[in-house]
Amino acid sequence: MIMRLPEGVEWALHCSWLLAQARHGDALTARRLAEFYGLPEAYLAKLLKALVRAGLLSATSGPRGGFRLARPPGAITVADVVEAVEGPGALFRCTEIRQRGPVPLTGVASRKPCGIAEVMHRAERAWRKELAATTIADLVETSGVGAVTRVNSWLSALSSGAHEG
Amino acid sequence: MIMRLPEGVEWALHCSWLLAQARHGDALTARRLAEFYGLPEAYLAKLLKALVRAGLLSATSGPRGGFRLARPPGAITVADVVEAVEGPGALFRCTEIRQRGPVPLTGVASRKPCGIAEVMHRAERAWRKELAATTIADLVETSGVGAVTRVNSWLSALSSGAHEG
């Protein structure tokens, strides 16, 4: 019964972090992003499209096309990315089992929100609030030097390749 | 890709709430609990066993056997019940994709925790902290009068039935 966030959450956050470092507004293709993280390209492409639909990425076609952040990295929060991947629904879904069975809760009592659902939703608001407190720009800012260096060298090599092509 | 907590979380919280109201330390069987909430008995029985394994319920057999809270309701938090159902693992699982691909993060840099995982885990701590702030006793205390009345009348009817049997 163990529940985990879909792995797409991790992928989408890392790809957003990488796109935030692309220089001169360069686009990166799904193939390049998949290559960088060793991810399955087809599945990643679907995920990137979900981020486009959510207004976090923009997509362009053509030889220099690909994906870019649709907003400055300081205007995209971790919560935005998580919600784009897993949808706007709540983690906890109340199915109102208190209204079932031989002595169901009815009338006024059933219109009062269920205390159990209230606790679960309050916790979820605390979770989202934390996720909303960090932007993609913050993630780049707090990356170690090693991480940023390897990205820059890889992006530079890509650009050189593009110029040759 | 939408993730939700398993419905067992809702069931386990409601059953714990109901067991907290059993009088004279009466036990309730999986059949009775399933009946009260209109739930599938076999699946609920598995869930109740998970709560026993987690030390939240105790189970006895025999004609008056069944499930009881293993601790006072004020000593069982919503977080305890959620963890018993969904396991102790984190919602977000970091698979270290930053260590894959053509320029993987290695050495000292890879031993520094990933900033993305840190944000996700910080948010999860905020979620669990909220869940840990409410006990089953709190849930009973803040139940509406209607909810408590229907439970008491149902439990009384059960007891009468047991005396006749």
A81-116 residue pLDDT tens: 999 998 877 888 888 999 998 888 888 888 888 999
Q: Considering the entire predicted model, what is its pTM?
A: 0.88
pLDDT at B164: 41
Give chain B positions within 8 Å (CB) of A122. 130
Given a cut of 90, whether residue A36 has pLDDT beyond it is yes
Radius of gyration of chain B (CA): 21
Residues A27-56 have a mean pLDDT of 96
Longest distance between any two alpha carbons in chain B, whole Å: 75
CB pairs under 8 A between A and B: 194
Q: For B24-70, where are the alpha helices, taking DSSP H only?
A: 30-37, 41-53
pLDDT at A165: 35
Hey, what are A154's tokens?
């890889």
End-to-end CA distance of chain B: 50
pLDDT at A106: 85
Q: What is the residue-averaged pLDDT of chain A?
A: 89
Q: Could you write out the DSSP letters of every residue in A95-142?
A: --GGG-SSS---HHHHHSPPHHHHHHHHHHHHHHHHHHT-BHHHHHHT
Q: What is d(CA B48, CA B43) in angstroms, rounded to the nearest whole number?
A: 9
pLDDT at A127: 95
Cα of A75 to nearest chain B Cα, Å = 17
- In this complex, do A101 and B35 lie within 8 Å of one another by their Cβ atoms? yes
A163 contact partners, CB below 8 Å, separation of at least 6: none
pLDDT at A112: 84
Q: What is the ipTM of this complex?
A: 0.89
- In this complex, do A97 and B38 lie within 8 Å of one another by their Cβ atoms? yes
State the DSSP H helix or E strand holding residue A146, giving kind and residue range, or none if neither: helix A145-164
- In this complex, do A150 and B6 lie within 8 Å of one another by their Cβ atoms? no
Hey, what are A33's tokens?
């992003």
Report chain B (165 residues): mean pLDDT per 10 consecutive residues: 77 96 88 95 96 97 93 97 88 88 85 91 96 97 84 83 49
Give, as one character, the DSSP assignment of residue B98.
G
Give chain B positions within 8 Å (CB) of A120. 5, 9, 13, 78, 131
Give chain A positions within 8 Å (CB) of B124. 127
Residue with tokens 């605390």: A126
